[in-house]
Amino acid sequence: MQNTIVTGVNKVLREIRQGTEFIVPDLSEQSSVLVFNDFENNTVAIFPVLNKELTRNENENIYDLFSYKAVTSTFELSSPVHDPANLSLLCSDISDVNFRLANARSLTITFAFKRAGKSYQTITEGSLMNSGDVK
């Protein structure tokens, strides 16, 4: 389970480091969803989705944490379309996740994981690291 937690948290932090500006939550607010812009001005959302099979096994709501990138260069406002290629699984076995902005460029993330009846919690800090340079 430790490997799952470390890998999942690292994937979330890597995704956030590609950002340039947080949209949701606002400063000093807490949310289970994180939305930010990346250096190409795409909008990225990180959000939990209920995993029905794990929820049934654990008798508690268990989520998978996904990232979805809305690519602005191909996005049609008049007819928005979900592109499955822009959806990626970041981590599983989450019973709770919260994002709280510490300031305009960094946030605190609280994760609660659960597997086989055992609960684990971790708190980590992440920041926007992208300078906006494009190669």
Q: pLDDT tens digits for the chain (135 residues)?
A: 788 899 999 999 999 999 999 999 998 899 999 999 998 899 999 999 999 999 999 999 999 999 999 998 887 777 778 889 999 999 999 999 999 999 989 999 999 999 998 999 999 999 998 665 555
First CA to last CA across the chain, in angstroms?
A: 37
The whole domain housing 38 covers: 2-125
Q: Are 99 and 30 in contact (CB under 8 A)?
A: yes
Tell me the whole-structure pTM to 2 decimals: 0.90
The reply to whether 134 falls in a domain is: no
The reply to whether 81 falls in a domain is: yes
What pLDDT is attached to residue 130? 65
Handedness of CA 126, 34, 123, 119 (dihedral sign): negative
The reply to whether 135 falls in a domain is: no
What pLDDT is attached to residue 132? 52
* Burial status of residue 99 (CB atoms within 10 A of its CB: 0-12, 13-18, 19 or more): buried
The reply to whether 132 falls in a domain is: no
Domain count, the chain: 1
What pLDDT is attached to residue 21? 92
The reply to whether 130 falls in a domain is: no
The reply to whether 117 falls in a domain is: yes
The reply to whether 133 falls in a domain is: no
